Homo-oligomer: A and B are copies of this chain.
Amino acid sequence: MADNSVPSFKASDLVIQLSSTLKAKSDVFTFGTVFTDHMLTIEWSATEGWQAPLIQPFGNLSLNPACSSLHYGIQLFEGLKAYRGDDNRLRLFRPMLNMNRMANSAKRACLPAFDQSELLECIRRLVEIDQDWVPQSDSASVYIRPTFISTEPTLGVKKPAQALLYVILCPVGAYFNTGGKGLSLWADPKYTRAWKGGTGDCKMGGNYGCSLSAQYDAVDYGCQQVLWLYGEDHQITEAGTMNIFLHWINEDGDEELATPPLDGIILPGVTRQSILELTREWDEFKVTERYLTMSQLCCALKQQRVKELFGSGTACMICPIEDIVYQGENLHIPCQEENSQLTSRIAKELTDIQYGRTPSDWTFLV
């Protein structure tokens, strides 16, 4: 239902310019390297408001070299996927959660508001047009990247008076190539991903640019990703670009699935929220949003109370964590018996919803 209180573009105004030539599709993709034939662009200016949305051939943007998305990081993005089900229908997974988060990021970045349902409908049309790109495979999908940048062509640090919202699509397989093993993480308080009063709870570009250097330090230490710590007590916050979950027997002897609370420094992940809702629905163990510190994790590992540690996110879905390098030590997260593996069970339930094998109101048909 359209929210008429926000001045917005309308999907009914969509202008569609189809590409005269279509690209050849191949099967093997490194994440985010191949794009489909079309993209969605929607221009905004303070004087003219939102223009009609346009679906046009994928191609370069022409940007003023002074534009403040390139100087002051006035930019944000989203990530969601389109899945081809066994029934050959295309589905998105809880896309309004992405639209809501995008609106929150836009507010934080001083970019203009828009009607979230109208954007979703424009995205649906784009996916429909490039539907042949969505693979018939449980391990592949089309990744949808809504992006929102300032195109204000002046150097004063100020609220943009011009902006561009655009959406590009890329067929993707698995995000990490770990050869079936769990991830290894490097945990060092030297770098901080996000901080109270910052933008860690929004998908703004600056959160990622500042994390890159740590990522390469992690690789130098023989790890694949960073385990982001926070504060004097080395709180566990996120893993790489994922939320993090600990399945353990907690200090009180209770079986618990725990993830850090949304206190401003944690990205409110769609997969995170879905895992919380799914496992709370099961009602088989405690499911908690709580602070977790490295000393709590180390203690639990010594006492063999850790069952599983994993990351979650749209790009990777669920990713088990096998090792953490922390203060010169390698903390190994023990493998658990096959039948108790929580990650496999969650991954199956989510995949069954995404690919249409389990009916769910979390799916949105394209």
Q: Tell me the A residues contacting B by CB distance below 8 Å.
A: 30-33, 35, 39, 58-66, 69-75, 77, 107-110, 143, 145, 147, 149, 154-159, 166, 168, 170, 189-192, 195-199, 204-213, 215-216, 240-241
Q: Are A209 and B72 in contact (CB under 8 A)?
A: yes
Q: Are A32 and B196 in contact (CB under 8 A)?
A: no
- Residues on B with C-beta less than 8 A from A72 are 205, 208-209, 212
- Residues on B with C-beta less than 8 A from A241 are 157
Contacts A65-B166, A206-B207; A156 near B31 (Cβ below 8 A) = yes
- Residues on B with C-beta less than 8 A from A191 are 197-198
Q: Are B66 and A75 in contact (CB under 8 A)?
A: no
Looking at A31, A110, A210, A241, the one whose CB has the most chain B CB atoms below 10 A away is: A210
Which of B62, B75, B156, B211 is A209 in contact with, Cβ under 8 Å? B75
Q: Are B32 and A73 in contact (CB under 8 A)?
A: no
CB distance from A348 to the nearest CB of B (A): 26
- Residues on B with C-beta less than 8 A from A159 are 212, 216
Copies in the complex: 2
Q: Are B65 and A62 in contact (CB under 8 A)?
A: no
Q: How far is the CA of A69 from the CA of B72 in the complex (A)?
A: 11
Interface of chain A: mostly helix, strand, loop or mixed: loop
Looking at A154, A206, A209, the one whose CB has the most chain B CB atoms below 10 A away is: A209
Q: How far is the CA of A241 from the CA of B75 in the complex (A)?
A: 19
Contacts A65-B58, A154-B32, A199-B210; A205 near B77 (Cβ below 8 A) = no
Q: How far is the CA of A110 from the CA of B217 in the complex (A)?
A: 11
- Residues on B with C-beta less than 8 A from A35 are 66
Q: Are B66 and A32 in contact (CB under 8 A)?
A: yes
Which of B33, B108, B210 is A154 in contact with, Cβ under 8 Å? B33
Q: How far is the CA of A31 from the CA of B68 in the complex (A)?
A: 13
Q: Are A155 and B149 in contact (CB under 8 A)?
A: no
Contacts A31-B156, A192-B195, A197-B192; A108 near B213 (Cβ below 8 A) = yes
Contacts A71-B77, A156-B32, A213-B110; A205 near B208 (Cβ below 8 A) = no
Contacts A196-B192, A197-B189, A210-B199; A156 near B30 (Cβ below 8 A) = yes
Q: Are A213 and B109 in contact (CB under 8 A)?
A: yes
- Residues on B with C-beta less than 8 A from A189 are 197
CB distance from A38 to the nearest CB of B (A): 11
Q: How far is the CA of A239 from the CA of B346 in the complex (A)?
A: 48
- Residues on B with C-beta less than 8 A from A30 are 154, 156
Q: Are B32 and A147 in contact (CB under 8 A)?
A: no
Q: Are B110 and A157 in contact (CB under 8 A)?
A: no
Known: A71-B208, A159-B212. 18 other contacts (CB 8 A): A31-B155, A32-B154, A32-B156, A33-B154, A33-B155, A35-B66, A60-B65, A61-B63, A61-B64, A71-B77, A73-B209, A74-B209, A107-B213, A110-B212, A191-B197, A192-B195, A198-B210, A205-B209
Q: How far is the CA of A221 from the CA of B72 in the complex (A)?
A: 23
Q: Are B73 and A205 in contact (CB under 8 A)?
A: yes
